[in-house]
Amino acid sequence: MADIIQLLPDHVANQIAAGEVVQRPASVVKELLENAIDAGSDSIKLIIKDAGKTLVQVIDNGKGMSTTDARLSFERHATSKIRNAEDLFQLHTKGFRGEALASIAAIAHVELKTKQPHDDVGNTIVMEGSKVTNQDVVVTPQGTSVSVKNLFFNIPARRNFLKSDNVELRHIIDEFHRVALAHPGIGFVFYNNGNEAFNLPISNYRQRIVNIFGTKTNEKLVPVEEETEVLKISGFVGKPEFAKKTRGEQYFFVNDRFIKSAYLNHAIASAYDGLLKNGTHASYFLNLTVDPQTIDINIHPTKTEIKFDDEHTLYAILRSAVKHSLGQFNIAPVLDFERDANLDTPYELKKESARASTPTIEVDRSFNPFQDEAPVKQRAVSYKKEPTESWESLYVGLESKGTKTQQDFSEVHFETEEATVSMFDKDIEKTHTTYQLHNKYIVSTIKSGMLVIDQHRAHQRILYEDYLQHLTIKGALSQQLLFPLDLHFSNQEIAVIIQLKEDLEHTGFVFSNVKEESIEIIGVPVGVPESEVSIILEQLISDVENEVPDSNFSATDLLAKSMAKSLAIKTGQSLQKDEQEHLVNKLFACKEPNVSPTNRTTFVTMSVDELDKKFI
């Protein structure tokens, strides 16, 4: 048989490798910014056009490259940053693979201009699909400028795969934030489509955070400082009352490199134990400095993960440091403050970290399938208003979601009279009965058998159709607020709100003022509790930014979905009898009762036949 193995031509091999490094315009941004930092710059400009699809350019004032280096920089595995394998364990630079420029040049049009400080003129090189099309001397300031145009011009499939400009720009801004947060000692300017989006002068860390996320951020920050033999922690955590519904502002840097770590994130979350409202996430901006020998970052060019030699110790120290800070600033109850004196004895701490992650299981002990009345637990701690028949009654639960203590308290059974009513005393004539199962499902009888409804999804469907109708047909009613609501957002977030302002107004929102970093609201849709407004808007912004790619984007639809998601009664919420029935009736009055707005099943049925089969 003839030989069949062939070496791939260079340009094909380069394109394949490039796919690993460059997945989207944001990857180019990351690589170019990191090169500029490695070059020792203290002033870096980022220029973006059309979410990076047309242009990504980074201009720095770093050390530049010689004529030979400029040419070599585009070769695969050409790097000035490591010389041998041992250097990998002493990394002080961001790059080390020598792959980025080669990869980018394989799939875009690249123009490099660079000059070293002591030279009079610099060099320019133009590359197209891994080929040099021009090389010349050029007059250029000290430092390096790399422009990347027409990304994926030779891989149409990749280009078509890119998401909308909104989404790609979001990714670019995320990368920019990460790099800028890790390097407050470097000035950054970011131009987006000709407008200055960020101008971050050299500053301290706190100012850098504030310059990125808005002046209001300042009062939300609590400093964290800790130094032990194994690591140094510095940075800020957010006060619990400013916790967000989305995980946006959570940043870990290890030796100035942004990383993601679910494990360390858990350490922080556990330090906030009992301080956060359900479903909210604290912000943090933390820098860990560890000996480069104790970490392994040589995993994957685009991954932001890292391996630590001793994760357990890190976990414990981090948790303790954050707790300490929250305690010092009188945010955490002081009694709760356990600063371990044995911080440097990891063995002890390992036990502590194990304890921190013990899962808790919630059981609805008061559930009684034979009991027609609302469960005892609601009566024991009666904080509800008289149940009303109105549609709005479904929201009542929202306000009285019940704090943790209320719920715990109610687990201590108070035997009320209702609780001991025998099942035979019930009104057995009643045919349409509902029960709530595990504060999650509504079980009801139907002619053919039984019906189980997911309360959260069902309510989402109901609200969604309701909002859609308001948005498209009739103007919604607005309820005026006694005091205007002043909400703070970053300027990109404000931009999203402005984009949706008109639609929001159709649902009943009334804006009295929209400024650079804040909005003032004087009216909200009827039935929307004031306390939920910021959560709804946050959710909405995050939905717009992460817009599902295949859905044909419609602001109205997204808004209706997003509001329905935020306002629907949650799993875990107990409902009064009349609320349960109302939910069932409303669901079946919907146009598409069987699926939630995100296409998930809202209810299942089981016929008597099916049940019979189970009893054979």
Interface residues with ligand ADP (CB under 6 A) are: 31, 35-36, 39, 60, 62-65, 73, 78-81, 95-102, 144
Which one of Mg ion, ligand ADP, none is in contact with 78 (Cβ closer than 5 to 8 A by kind)? ligand ADP
Cα distance between residue 481 and residue 588, in whole Å: 33
Cα distance between residue 121 and residue 332, in whole Å: 59
Contact 451/603 with Cβ under 8 angstroms?
Answer: yes
Pairing, β 449-454 against β 603-607: antiparallel
* Rg for the chain, CA atoms, rounded: 29
Q: What is the DSSP letter of 369?
A: T
**Closer Cβ to ligand ADP, 101 or 587, answer by number:** 101
Q: One-letter amino acid identity for 445?
A: T
**Closer Cβ to ligand ADP, 100 or 162, answer by number:** 100
Cα distance between residue 317 and residue 264, in whole Å: 10
Interface with Mg ion, residue 144, by CB under 5 A:
no
**Closer Cβ to ligand ADP, 62 or 327, answer by number:** 62
Strand order across the 257-259 sheet: 221-227, 231-238, 284-290, 250-254, 257-259
Q: What is the number of the residue whose Cβ is closest to ligand ADP?
A: 95
Closest approach of ligand ADP to the CB of residue 53, in Å: 21
Closest approach of Mg ion to the CB of residue 65, in Å: 12
Closest approach of Mg ion to the CB of residue 97, in Å: 7
Which one of Mg ion, ligand ADP, none is in contact with 60 (Cβ closer than 5 to 8 A by kind)? ligand ADP
Tell me the two tokens of residue 20.
Answer: 């690993």
Binding to Mg ion by CB under 5 A, coded x per residue (else -) over 48-87, reads ----------------------------------------
**Closer Cβ to Mg ion, 94 or 561, answer by number:** 94
Instruction: Please pick, from the candidates 100, 106, 167, 564, the single residue that binds Mg ion as defined by CB under 5 A.
Output: 100
Which one of Mg ion, ligand ADP, none is in contact with 13 (Cβ closer than 5 to 8 A by kind)? none
Number of residues interacting with Mg ion: please give it, by CB under 5 A.
Answer: 3
**Closer Cβ to Mg ion, 100 or 295, answer by number:** 100
Q: Which long-range contacts link 126-133 to residues 24+ away (Cβ below 8 Å)? A: 127/74, 129/11, 129/105, 129/153, 129/154, 130/10, 130/11, 130/14, 130/74, 130/102, 130/105, 130/106, 132/71, 132/74
Sign of torsion over alpha carbons 264, 268, 274, 275: negative
Closest approach of ligand ADP to the CB of residue 293, in Å: 20
Cα distance between residue 296 and residue 96, in whole Å: 13
**Closer Cβ to Mg ion, 35 or 114, answer by number:** 35
Closest approach of ligand ADP to the CB of residue 81, in Å: 4
**Closer Cβ to ligand ADP, 76 or 319, answer by number:** 76
Closest approach of Mg ion to the CB of residue 94, in Å: 6
Cα distance between residue 551 and residue 555, in whole Å: 11
The values of phi and psi at residue 5, to 5°, are -85, 130
Instruction: Please pick, from the candidates 35, 114, 124, 439, the single residue that binds Mg ion as defined by CB under 5 A.
Output: 35
**Closer Cβ to ligand ADP, 60 or 249, answer by number:** 60
Instruction: Please pick, from the candidates 25, 62, 95, 375, the single residue that binds Mg ion as defined by CB under 5 A.
Output: 95
Q: What is the contact surface with Mg ion in residues (CB under 5 A)? A: 35, 95, 100
